[in-house]
Structure 1
């Protein structure tokens, strides 16, 4: 696992979104200097939506060759295509509809309109991952994978105490009876999440402090799934001051 796991603290939610947006633009330009294409995994939730708006509104985003980036999702709510609960819809409204992306490189998870059966929708996304994977691999090389964190410590749609967090023999899992509505979801599994070169977790608010503190203190992944969020090269927790309340001082990185 990664040897570089750090916490970067920002004053509030607004400065958090702006700082991560600037860092993302700089890093994705560097990645595209090194590789022909990049693969980015998006996350839902209000903080990550604010982040995408900040990327869109940054003057520097015009320097990004957006047509060379593939966009994926870490999880999705299995609802109608036009439902406001859809992570895809939130991402399109916040960012993707406002930048010159290649539509063929946007890879949403199926809605209930597209595929009626939840398990088949999960299987379809597994096939999509494999279709864009390097030879003999089951999924692409993810350059940056964004995650939100729930107050219960869940990441993507991998919830504490539920079967999804334990799955190791599949790339995508269907989720029923989610403790957070809506109840039906699709999620990448933990091994796929951990395959990303860089995992960037973006979280804000006092209700996230306990989960973050437990994760960094070595809690069980089954009980606090965010404890398992470790990328191959780097894992960064971008947080506001409220979310950092229970983070040991020695784990907080100096200002950058």
Structure 2
């Protein structure tokens, strides 16, 4: 990732404010150019902080929330009202707050929508094909301490999925065990990829990914944007660089 840009912020709060402001500016600029942007969302603690900052800053942004599509890099295959759902967290933190219409929020299946996690993955693949733009304008990704992104975990067979947009994951090392994830092939179809990482517990994974680790050991090493790759870090997550 020699061309990646690295931004180091003082702490998680500063990181969240910076990313939220940049996201709003990018969406507003795209809309001003007549484009309906497609944004890939992630879950996790730092993503939740960013989402809440988006909601706080949104009134001054000029963004038309009816003209932006939101997608998810992965999702937990659980009940629709489970607190583990990335979509539920994002809706509560900012999507519902700013008034994004439901048809613009492309959620992955819950256990109420699909009979199995495989069926749920197939349904999301069909959704992307039917309503996606072919690429994400901005894809946001969290990184786990083990270097996983979305629900692509080190050593798992989904890392080598071919000709697939979404895949089922079972036996996840991080609960809940059943998940749906976009594949590397899908994630790589992103103009801008933003990694959002906070805390010294992620520092080793960040250093490995930026140091060119094998994606089978550190999946975060396997995704770059076609135009831009940015690592938004705080001092803790950047401490081993």
Q: What is the TM-score of this pair, normalised by structure 1? A: 0.91
Instruction: Find the aligned partners of 2:72 and 2:96 in 1 and give their Cα distance.
Output: 16
Secondary structure of 1:96's aligned partner = helix
1:237: Cα distance to partner? 0.5
**Deviation (angstroms), 1:120:** 0.6
User: Which runs of structure 1 show a deviation greater than 6 angstroms over 4 or more consecutive aligned residues?
Assistant: none
Q: Which residue of 1 aligns with 2:209?
A: 215
Q: 1:92-136, CA deviations, whole angstroms, 9 ceiling, x for partnerless residues?
A: 1000111121221110001011112111110000000000245xx
Please state how far the C-alpha of 1:36 moved relative to its aligned partner: 3.0
1:46 is displaced (CA, Å) by 0.7
| Cα root mean square deviation, aligned | 1.3
- Provide the residue aligned with 1:182 in structure 2: 176
Contact 2:9–2:233 (Cα < 8 Å) also in 1: yes
Aligned to 1:91: 90
Runs of at least 5 residues in structure 2 that lack an aligned partner in the other structure: none
| 1:160-175 map, 5 Å | 160-175=154-169
Contact 2:77–2:178 (CA under 8 A) maintained in structure 1: yes
- Match for residue 25 of structure 1? 24
Corresponding residue for 1:45?
44
Change in 2 beyond 3 A, CA 1:165/1:185: same
Q: Distance in 2 between matches of 1:88 and 1:4?
A: 31
Matched, 1:141 2:140: no
Q: CA deviation at 1:233?
A: 0.6
Q: How many residues align?
A: 241
Q: Mark the runs of 5 or more structure 1 residues left unpaired by the alignment.
A: 135-139, 248-256
Normalised by the size of structure 2, how large is the TM-score? 0.97
Aligned pair in 2 of structure 1 residues 61, 83: CA closer, same or farther (>3 Å)?
Answer: farther
